[in-house]
Structure 1
């Protein structure tokens, strides 16, 4: 027998305001056709004044807890991935902890931008398998609209706000091919590519939040190569191949990246969960948000083998193989 971190439930949350490409085109020099052709994006949700990373994360966490049929007090670990925390400190995870009414548990943030949720999954999985914790909330939440330069049409049309969450719990599994839970994870980072995707501010440098800057063509090229490679690594580590995969739940950055990555792995597009058209790129929230959508609409069923993958600024990238 072996201890695995098993997914008990998923949840997500989106801001109230839904913004179409046509609405954006009234503010920015762009068109619906231009955005759809290059990205596949049609809508995104933008947080209002009373909606923050912590409020979205809390709503997603509550939905995941309800799906898992657990009380908030059952949780002893919260790992929250975000690049847009409510405050420089304390962590947004502690704000979620307080909002959920949990008096005491380990709670902290991780920062790996769009790959943040994969980093958070590996951290929580490691802590659960080590025996330090039994039930964890793993959350990806962003209000990326707060970092956007709304005069830069090449970036502001790409992003949206939202949150996704999952409940992981320690369960004893047989230790063979039938195991449920997190089967393998692989993470990478290469800081030499900082200038290709970054925010031009921070407490230690400018004392400001800054705005997002990106060289899209170079990011696209690295993304296709790195994502295909790390998905292959994670499957090999689990003793599996792409033929065993029921669903890929990728970071929702760009429809063309998703298509190119699937082709590189020889996976049919029907196996790729795609929500980028409705949510745009929600950074660390995009993988758990897409996962929750596919669970709730019935595509992903208990026992399905799924691969989660993402790449973001840094560069950071990673993948996880999970039997749901």
Structure 2
């Protein structure tokens, strides 16, 4: 694709594009010095989360409510931002046993862009809008637009289309609102400062974005009852590692031996949450399934209801 200066936007003022004084001698540093400067700067990615905690909490609640009503969560982005969204979405089915369509990542350039850069596509606002239309986004969905520098037309096009369809819209960027504004329901800003390598937002901005996405998806699943204590009781038992984890969860939370845990897990079709309920209540798997359904999958509520 041939690029022209027509419509070219000056971005040098953006926080993510500025030079970092702490790494101005990067090309003269030793390997150990490079490690040290990265380590010092990466601390800002963690600190950035605390500055936007209320927006993250609001996104968790909005996402949980949407999923509870049968809606979906979409992450939309280009380049590193989009790939991080796809990664977080892909981890939800094995971790929380969700249907693949419930949390989706939309990446400019599609699946091919996961392996090969398609950065020019981020300039097409109509591409983002088209992706939202193809996904048939509705008013029960949540759409999170991710753009480190805040200016990606693909993301803005997607959010505008999602908003017109009544979806809850969330903007996630690493620049302050006075540099780039967004008309959305929830605004998440991750002020990580200039990158060690100027403009390379796959670094601190990418780290902060990954942290924020971890919090949103995990927090929403916690609110939906897919976690008991801090255990992933809706884990999808699809390989030996996850079978081992399922057995350890049951053994740790009960007085069962590993063999006994395996017996109840198999009897409950390898459903950890149901296995725990059946063991603690003495219900049959069928009755336990019905009780969980009555309480929207909330294990604590189901146990309390039976005990009461």
Q: Same fold (TM over 0.5)?
A: no
Q: Which one has the bigger helix percentage? A: 2
The structure carrying a bigger strand percent of its residues is 1
Compare CA radii of gyration and give the structure with the larger one. Answer: 2
The TM-score, its normalising length taken from structure 1, stands at 0.29
TM-score (norm 2): 0.30
